Chain A
Amino acid sequence: DGGITQSPKYLFRKEGQNVTLSCEQNLNHDAMYWYRQDPGQGLRLIYYSQIVNDFQKGDIAEGYSVSREKKESFPLTVTSAQKNPTAFYLCASRAPSRGQNEKLFFGSGTQLSVL
């Protein structure tokens, strides 16, 4: 079945440590996105990529980095510069079409907590 796979489901970070969240899709979508979800805050955009080897900062990119070396993969690194990383992270992708087909497909999320 086609879809988006995020791993791990739960992740713990120590002070000063970088951690990487994995996002893989087999939907053949060009565009991929990372959102952060905090209680009461909705979803906020961290980074997005419209094509391989290209990505743009979202609204809250500070303390995060990404890469897009393959169409299927869009990993997110939470660096030590992100002082409040505890949140639920959602990866999504979108087909290059309009109307209902432009809806986002989401992974099941990664809950990141600080030790």
Chain B
Amino acid sequence: AQKITQTQPGMFVQEKEAVTLDCTYDTSDQSYGLFWYKQPSSGEMIFLIYQGSYDEQNATEGRYSLNFQKARKSANLVISASQLGDSAMYFCAMRPASGNTPLVFGKGTRLSVIA
């Protein structure tokens, strides 16, 4: 069974600094997709970034980048130039090989940005 592990329950970062949120996954599939979502205190889930297992380049979306190390089965999220509005829960998720299979989520990391 697929599993996502996020080992950092909480993280602090100074405003304008970069921060890395860790995510490792366990799967025997060759084809899969990896996602990061942000959940502010309001509760909605905001899609941030996607990485396909066959993508050769690391995904980037504005201040977000995904450090994808396939051999290590890690998909860490890097947030550059942190802002106060980045304070939220962050979830890593994986879509297994079958396109219809639901996403599997990690337990999340709470990021707090300090002024």
Which residues of A approach B to under 8 Å, CB–CB?
A: 31, 33, 35, 40-45, 48, 50, 58, 88, 90, 92, 96, 98-100, 102-109, 111
Q: Which of B33, B100, B108 has the most CB of A within 10 A?
A: B100
> Secondary structure of the A side of the interface?
strand
Q: Given A42-B91, A88-B43, A104 and B50 touching (CB < 8 A)?
A: no
Besides A90-B43, A106-B44, 11 new A-B residue pairs in contact (Cβ under 8 A), listed by A number: A33-B103, A42-B91, A44-B105, A58-B102, A98-B99, A102-B33, A103-B47, A103-B50, A106-B45, A107-B44, A108-B43
> In the complex the two chains form, is B102's CB within 8 Å of A33's CB?
yes
Given contacts A42-B91, A45-B102, A48-B102, contact A108 B44 (CB under 8 A): yes
Q: Contact residues of B with A, CB < 8 Å?
A: 6, 9, 33, 35, 42-45, 47, 50, 52, 91, 93, 95, 99-100, 102-108
A93 to B87 CA separation, bound complex (whole angstroms): 26
Residues of chain A within 8 A of B104, CB atoms compared: 45
Give CA–CA (A109, B41) in the complex, Å: 12
CB distance from B56 to the nearest CB of A (A): 14
Chain A nearest CB from B48 CB (Å) reads 9
CB < 8 Å neighbour of B44 from A43, A50, A103, A109: A109
Q: Is the interface of B mostly helix, strand, loop or mixed?
A: loop
B115 to chain A, nearest CB (A): 26
Subset of 21 A-B contacts with CB under 8 Å:
A31-B100, A33-B102, A40-B107, A41-B107, A42-B91, A42-B105, A42-B108, A43-B91, A43-B93, A45-B102, A45-B104, A88-B43, A98-B52, A98-B99, A99-B33, A100-B50, A106-B44, A108-B43, A108-B44, A109-B44, A111-B43
Q: Which residues of A contact B50 (CB under 8 A)?
A: 99-100, 103
Residues in A with CB closer than 8 Å to B106 are 42
When distances are taken between beta carbons in the complex, the residues of chain B under 8 Å from A108 are 42-44
Inter-chain CA distance A42–B6, complex, in Å, is: 10
